[in-house]
Each structure stands twice: as structure tokens, then as C-alpha cells.
A and B are shown apart, each in its own frame.
Chain A
Amino acid sequence: MTGSSQTTGAKWIAAAGAAAAIFVLSLSIGRYPLTPAEVARALAQALLGRDFGMGAEAMAIVVDNRLPRALAGCLTGAALAAAGCAFQGLFQNPLVSQGVLGVSSGAGFGAALSILIFSGTRFAPTFAFVFALAAVWMSFLVARMCGEVTSLMLVLGGTIISSIFSALLSFLKYVADPNNELASIVFWNMGSLASVESTVFPFAAAAMLAGMGLLVLSGWSLNALSMGDREAKSMGLDVGKARLAVVAGATLSTAGAVSIAGTIGWVGLIIPHMARFLVGSDNRRLIPFSMLLGAAFLMGIDLLSRTLTGAEIPLGILTSLIGGPFFIYLLRRYKGGGWK
């Protein structure tokens, strides 16, 4: 027992350390390289308001340019990973990810619609957020139409609504002007942290933090819900309310994330599995740990996306290209980790 809790503690420290290290690296590395010490001085100068000898140029790069992007990556990664854990537990299915109730396809459609209406991406985050929430709400309606809302009906409703929004997105792509609108839509849907707007970011961050808070507190309910609706009910859980809290938390997290970063797949699917190998399946530990891993992973991916080549590589491409092989390594290392 003692031995296992010691190694578990070490894993938490390692994950938190990795996230912190990647955060600092994200502020240091780039076309204008800074040492971690310079980054620390710039941050202190901005926070404390005293002069630590950093010039205006370095301050602009660290505080105005790299810091918001690193924070956005950190929050987005954590939010997508937490939502992935929540949906996997809720639907007792390790293969679902944050998009299962239509959040991602709703957001994708909303962003595309705003790009067509306003000929630009200015309102894409707002539209993405609104349509992400609308898609989940519609999934609920579909589930309710067929009688009592069960997890199975909910996932069926989500599948239907997702496919409708995907079809609508395809239609918008088809009618979009191929010279610039289509490119914007396609690029937005590949995911990027390059254009996080300071006007939108606080709202998205608030949604993600509220959602993640709800999910962290729903750990026990998720353990119970993952035993199936009937068993959870007979243990004394108010299944309807508990499920609503989980869906609300996961939806706010994901909608906040996709509204600023576009649709980034894979993180919500794979990070919960990696975390499960490392700290086990108890959602009370799994969700916070997944958030740490997700934050570290997405900040790292974003760092690579802007430094590997002269042009930015969309995040969605890198998350899969790097996450896939890493997941294979973990599967080998943990021999399936208790999966039958």
C-alpha cells in the first residue's frame, strides 16, 4: 500500500513537473529565443510591476504573445482531457471522446457558418460555442423523445445530431468560396492556437474552468454511473441529476476549448487512457491527473506546431501523429493495463 501510494505520488509530481517545464519552454522557445531565466524575469516584471531589466520587445513577446497562447494550450488540453474522461465514464465506453454528444461537430458547423456570414473568423469562437451547446441540447431532446433519458438513448441522440451537423458542415464547405472561405473553414477545423483573441479568451477560459470544476467534483458520481444506470440508482445516486452535472461540465469544458482552438481530436480520447495506465480508473484521481497530462500534452504539441517548420502545422494533425505512436508505446509498456 505504502509503496504504491509513493509511486502514485511520484507520478503526480512527474506530471505536474512536465506540465510546468513545457509551460516555461513554451515561453522561451521561438523565433526570438529567451532563456528560462529571462522568461522568469519578464513574468516577474509583468506581475510585480518592478523593473527586472527586460526590454519592451522581450516583454511583448513573453507577456502578449507567448503567455496567452501557452495558457490557452494549457486550459484547452486540460478541458478536452477532462471531458473525455467524463464521457467515457458516463457511457461506460472507453472508445468515446469529447465529441460524442455532438459538441465538436456543432462547433465546427457554427464556426463555418460565421465564416460564411461575416467573411472572416472574427465571430467563429462565439458561433462555435453557441452551436456546441445547441448540439448537446438537441442530443438530449432526441434522447427524451424516445421516453426516459438513459445513457444509451443519449449516445444515440448524440450520434444522430453529430452526423446531421457534419452533413451541414459539408454543405457549407460545398457552397463556400474555394479561394478563401473554404480554406478558413478547413483550417479552423484542424485546430490551432495561433489566433486566440484576447477579447474571447476570458469567456472561454471561464467556461472551461467552470466545466472542469464540475467534473472534478463529479468523480464519485462518474464511478457510480459507469456501473450502469440501474446499479447506480440502486446505490442511491440520483442518476438524472448526476448525469446532468457530468454532461454540463463536459459540455462547458469542450465548448470553451473548441471555441478558441477549433476541433482538436484525439486528446479527449487518448489522454484519459494514458492517465488510466498511470493512476488507475478511479475518476476522483483520473480526472485531475488527465487534466495535468492533457495540459502538458497540448502545450507540447502547440510548441512543436509552431517550431517544427517555418509555417504552423495544425494541431489536429500533430496530436494524432505524435499521440498515436506514444499510445502504442504505453499499451506495450502496461500490457493493456487491466483491459480484457
Chain B
Amino acid sequence: MSLLTVQNLSFSYGTREIFSGVSFAVEQGQIFCLVGPNGCGKTTLQHCILGHLRPQSGSVLIEGKPLTDHTPRDLAAQLAFVPQSHSRSFPYKTVDVVALGRTRRRKPLQPGGDEREQALAVMERLGIAHLAETEYTTLSGGELQMVLLARALAQESAMLVLDEPAAHLDVRRAQGILLLLAQIAKEQGRSILLSTHDFNHPLLFEDEGADVKMALMEGGRLGRAGRPLELLSSGCLKEVYGIESRVVTVKADKERHYLAAWAETDRGKENI
């Protein structure tokens, strides 16, 4: 049974349709990349999967059970969320923010708890333990992204749902977080559902030896899911976006794959 199964899902804000007929499945230990331009509905799709928005039709099954049958606590054991943007309201200590990932293990109105130590252990693993006593309102965008990831990891859920995790990061930090995600999927067997607008992210996961699938999202439709290298080499970008592309292989520390894309057709030129 797949960890997450999405069947024929549709969502509209009033009469404005965001996406429709979306189906895909994510297996345990798999990284599934939703790839598409900004505004294509990736974030809305993730919020439907997390139960934040109610889709008009279709179903979301987690371990074969409909999303709405899970209590918030059960759901948090399955899915942990790393939002793309987070509004910081109060100057909490960073370690206290990470500790919130332990919420699902607490009883309602429970006093005390040893969450701080567990949060610190996760921060050690991610190399951000030095930020523990810093007020999180003073962190940079990249540091905040790591803190939100640490909070999601502290949740110890079966799947991580990340919305554009590398969007606001410089090359070095983006690379760092992507490699970390590949490692988490491979070594801990956790599933990852990730949205991105960068075709090179799924390629990087595949080069790192993770079990990766990707699907292109455009105009409210999700395309066929497949292995990144195979899918991107098949010329599907021309069908979907009307751009020419080729996967190039670079001999670096190992063989790495990148997507070179250019506009050639009239449609492509118009879009650019």
C-alpha cells in the first residue's frame, strides 16, 4: 500500500479552478517532486493533502485511510509540513520553535516536558545547534528554513511535505538542504513530497541515488509521473511548456545531470 494516494483531486476557490483530476501516489522512502512554475497550484495541492483546504472532489488516502478519518494527532504522525513562508510573530528561542515538532506526543494541557533536549538533538544533527538560544526573529531566511526543517524532523513523521524548500536560499545552502533531504529519504526511509520550480532538483536527488519520481504541473493539471532523467529526456517539456530542452551530463565528483532549456518555438518566445 502506498503511504500517500491522491485520487482525482480537484480544488477551486469559488468558481476559479486551481487544479482538477490530480492523481499520484508516494511510496515509503520515496521522494516525489511536484515540478511547475509559480502559481500552477503546487502549494494549494499540498494544503489539500495536509487537510488545510477541503477539495471539491477526489480523495486523499494516507496509509489507505481517508484523510478526514485521521485525528490531527494521527495525521501529524504521518505528515510533517515545512511551509515556504512563515510569519514570525514573537521572538521565541530557536530551540523552542524546533521543540514544537514534539506537539503530537504531548497530551492536551500537559505541563513540563523534555522536548528541549530532543529538539537540541535534531539541531545537532542538522548542524544548527549554535542557533538554539538565539531569538528566531533574528535568523536569516536560510537559517529559518533549516529551523523549520528541524521542527518537521523533530515530529518524526513518516513523510515530510516541503513547499519550495530551496526557493529563498543561495546556491550553497540550497545544495546543502537538497543533499540532506536525499540522505533522509535514503537512510531513514522517510518519504518526501516536495514542490519546486527547478527541474534540476529532481535530477540531483536521482544522482544522489534516492528513489525519486517527479511530475510536471501546469495549468491545473498534473502530468504523468516518472523518473526524472527518463521523463526530462523524453521531450515532455516541449509538450507541456513549449520549450526546447536537453539533459546534459557533467563529470564532476561523479556523473551529474542538469537540464539545459531554451526557447525556440513561437509559443516559447511569447511566454518569455
A92-B87 contact, Cβ under 8 Å, with A224-B100, A233-B52, A238-B73? yes
Interface 9-residue window, one of B25-33, B101-109, B185-193 = B101-109
Which residues of B132-160 have CB atoms within 8 Å of chain A's CB atoms?
133, 135, 137-138, 151, 155
A234-B89 contact, Cβ under 8 Å, with A221-B108, A223-B96? no
Shortest Cβ gap from A114 to chain B (Å): 35
Contact of B137 among A219, A227, A241, A338 (CB under 8 A): A338
B262 at the interface (CB under 8 A from A): no
Which residues of B76-130 have CB atoms within 8 Å of chain A's CB atoms?
76-77, 79-81, 83, 86-93, 96-97, 100-101, 103-106, 108-111, 113
Shortest Cβ gap from B119 to chain A (Å): 12
A237 at the interface (CB under 8 A from B): yes
Is there an interface contact between B111 and A284, defined as CB atoms closer than 8 Å? yes
A220 cross-chain contacts in B, Cβ below 8 A: 103, 106, 110, 113
Number of interface residues of B (CB under 8 A): 42
Task: Please report the C-alpha to C-alpha distance between residue A337 and residue B90 in the assembled complex, in whole angstroms.
Answer: 10
Shortest Cβ gap from B38 to chain A (Å): 20
Number of interface residues of A (CB under 8 A): 41
A233 cross-chain contacts in B, Cβ below 8 A: 50-52, 72
Closest to A227 in B: B100
B110 cross-chain contacts in A, Cβ below 8 A: 217, 220
A235-B91 contact, Cβ under 8 Å, with A4-B133, A241-B108, A242-B108? no
List residues of chain A with CB under 8 Å of any chain B CB. 1, 4, 88-89, 92-94, 214, 216-221, 223-224, 226-228, 230-239, 241-242, 245, 276, 280-282, 284, 337-340
Q: Which 5 A-B pairs give the minimum distances between C-beta atoms?
A: A236-B76, A236-B104, A338-B91, A338-B135, A234-B81
The 26 listed contacts between A and B (C-beta, < 8 Å) are: A1-B133, A92-B87, A218-B109, A226-B89, A226-B90, A227-B100, A230-B47, A230-B81, A231-B86, A233-B52, A234-B50, A234-B52, A234-B75, A234-B79, A235-B76, A236-B103, A236-B105, A236-B155, A237-B103, A241-B108, A245-B108, A281-B90, A284-B111, A337-B91, A338-B138, A339-B137
List residues of chain B with CB under 8 Å of any chain A CB. 47, 50-52, 71-73, 75-77, 79-81, 83, 86-93, 96-97, 100-101, 103-106, 108-111, 113, 133, 135, 137-138, 151, 155, 161
